């Protein structure tokens, strides 16, 4: 990977951190905002649909949707340790043969990936510097549904991100987190031909589902 942000993500999302996330998913299931997105997707008729899950972490969306009728999934992630964890969990749940795994910066490898009925980015837009390229490239891949979880652009998420970025700077890690403009994200997704179908807000996050 040539993008320093993704090299940094590969270092941040590794070892102990990923093992802890996997333990947490096995004990408690998906986090609250992931569950909101999964439930909104399940409310649509997704039987037999394909899924492209970008930056899927331990693969919570992949596992939940494959159990809910999705036929096949592709997990594309910049963090190799997360892909390994997703694979382990898919084997444990018995659907590993229905998932394809791709390691890399999605923006760079997008040309090699097929479109899917559902595209998801759960807490990924905030982990990438070039929001416009990530949103445009991923929205183009969504044949029917496009689901995102990303930070609300309010002062307290910006302050929180400032602390996190100071911490990464201290560690000499090039990874940074971002609060991108909600209006700009929404305009790009709509510009790609998708309409907003569902929105939920928590204190820090927004969960949005779009339909083509």
Ligand X SMILES: C[S@@+](CC[C@H](N)C(=O)[O-])C[C@H]1O[C@@H](n2cnc3c(N)ncnc32)[C@H](O)[C@@H]1O
Q: How many CB atoms lie within 10 A of CB 101?
A: 20
Is the separation of the CB atoms in 86 and 102 below 8 Å?
no
The CB-of-31 to ligand X minimum distance in angstroms stands at: 7
DSSP string, 1-57: ---HHHHHHHHHSSHHHHHHHHHHHHHH-S-HHHHHHHHHHHTS--TT-EEEEET-T
Q: Which residues contact ligand X (rule: CB under 6 A)?
A: 6, 9, 13, 34, 54-57, 76-79, 82, 105-107, 122-124, 127-128, 134
Q: Residue of minimal CB distance from ligand X?
A: 55
The CB-of-112 to ligand X minimum distance in angstroms stands at: 13
Q: 182-201 burial string, b = 16+ CB within 10 Å, else e?
A: eeebbebbeebebeebbebe
Closer to ligand X at the Cβ: 76 or 188? 76
Closer to ligand X at the Cβ: 32 or 195? 32
Closer to ligand X at the Cβ: 47 or 78? 78
The CB-of-105 to ligand X minimum distance in angstroms stands at: 4
Closer to ligand X at the Cβ: 32 or 43? 32
């Amino acid at each position: 990977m040539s993008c320093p942000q993704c090299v940094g993500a590969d270092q941040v999302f590794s070892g102990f951190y990923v093992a802890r996330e996997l333990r947490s998913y096995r004990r408690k299931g998906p986090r609250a905002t992931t569950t909101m997105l999964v439930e909104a997707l399940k409310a649509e008729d997704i039987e037999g649909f394909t899924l492209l899950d970008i930056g899927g972490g331990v693969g919570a969306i992949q596992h939940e949707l494959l159990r809910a009728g999705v036929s096949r999934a592709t997990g594309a992630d910049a963090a190799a340790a997360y892909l390994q964890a997703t694979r382990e969990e898919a084997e444990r749940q018995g659907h590993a043969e229905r998932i394809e795994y791709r390691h890399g910066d999605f923006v760079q490898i997008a040309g090699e990936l097929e479109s899917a009925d559902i595209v998801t980015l759960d807490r990924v837009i905030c982990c990438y510097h070039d929001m416009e390229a990530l949103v445009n490239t991923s929205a183009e891949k969504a044949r029917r549904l496009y689901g995102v979880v990303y930070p609300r652009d309010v002062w307290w998420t910006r302050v929180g991100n400032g602390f996190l970025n100071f911490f990464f700077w201290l560690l000499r890690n090039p990874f940074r987190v971002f609060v991108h403009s909600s209006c700009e994200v929404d305009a790009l997704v709509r510009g790609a031909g998708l309409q907003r179908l569902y929105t939920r807000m928590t204190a820090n996050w927004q969960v949005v589902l779009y339909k083509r």
